[in-house]
Amino acid sequence: MPTSHAPRGGAMPRLLALCLACALSLWSQPSPAHPHGWVDVSVRVAMDERGRVEALHQRWRLDPFYSLLLLEELRAAPGEAPLEARLDRLGVEIRRNLSPQRYFTHVTHDGEPVALGEVEDFTTLARGDRIELMFRLPLAEPLAMHQAPLRYRIYDPSYYLEVLHETEGDSPRADALRVTGADCATRVIAADPDPARVAEAARLDRDEQAPEGLGRFFAETGEIRCDSP
């Protein structure tokens, strides 16, 4: 069954709590095991002049509840720094914690894993009632498509966070996955976890540790197919 936005909500996800604690020394409370927060993501796949994939530009929008919690804590922190500077410091810590996990992003080409590079451009800002993270995740080397599909999944392996593409109604938005620099077809494939996995996630108590890797069963798949350059 596909994942949906219905189950979202609850206490602070472990990763963001850790980031905030590192940045402001304000947060140390435990977090629930199954997802009680969500991220709306959009991806722009950038191609070079030879039609090779070179990077995935990602925008993550944290859900309004956790955005509000983070903004309240940032504003209440001691010191005279403006909110923009505090958001920058938070972004540094989020990037530091996401980097070893490759920003929760798993890319394959023709079924084979694709190595990723390091993020250099990372922006954190508040827009409306949401905190947004924007970054460019490069491939380790530009990748020629050769008619084989490129696929990616973005997920928290411990399933503390649910990551879904931006939607309009019940369907992914047209700009939730797009390509610049080449003529390509895209689609977002909904997750279809085994009912046993759904039941496993539903059984988790708020203080129970989720099995590592549970999140992959609930991850959407972005797919890109391009014509030859």
Reading the block at residue 97, the tokens are 């914690």
Where is 88: in which H helix or E strand? Answer: helix 83-98
CB atoms closer than 10 angstroms to residue 203:
9
Whether 6 is covered by a domain: the verdict is no
Whether 112 is covered by a domain: the verdict is yes
d(CA 159, CA 2): 15
User: Tell me: the pLDDT tens digits for 155-178?
Assistant: 988 777 889 999 998 899 999 999
Strand 37-47 to strand 177-180: parallel, antiparallel, or no bridges (unpaired)?
Answer: parallel
CB 31 within 8 A of CB 13: yes
The total number of structural domains that make up the chain: 1
Q: Which of 196, 186, 56, 33 is nearest to 115 (CA)?
A: 56
Its domain, for residue 153, covers: 14-226
Whether 1 is covered by a domain: the verdict is no
So what's the pLDDT on residue 206? 53
Tell me the C-alpha to C-alpha distance, in Å, between residue 138 and each of 69, 85, 203. Answer: 31, 26, 37
Whether 7 is covered by a domain: the verdict is no
3-state secondary structure of 54: strand
Whether 100 is covered by a domain: the verdict is yes
Reading the block at residue 24, the tokens are 């402001």
So what's the pLDDT on residue 8? 42
Whether 59 is covered by a domain: the verdict is yes
Where is 46: in which H helix or E strand? Answer: strand 37-47
User: Tell me: the pLDDT tens digits for 99-158?
Assistant: 999 999 999 999 999 999 999 999 999 998 999 999 999 999 999 988 899 999 999 887
CB atoms closer than 10 angstroms to residue 152:
23
Helix, strand, coil percentages for the chain (3-state, nearest 5): 30, 35, 35
Q: Which of 1, 5, 28, 36 is nearest to 156 (CA)?
A: 36
Whether 3 is covered by a domain: the verdict is no
3-state secondary structure of 218: helix
Output the CA torsion sign for 53, 55, 61, 66. Answer: positive
User: Tell me: the pLDDT tens digits for 16-61?
Assistant: 555 444 433 333 334 444 566 889 999 999 999 999 999 999 999 9
Q: What is the pTM of this model?
A: 0.81
Whether 2 is covered by a domain: the verdict is no
CB 173 within 8 A of CB 167: yes
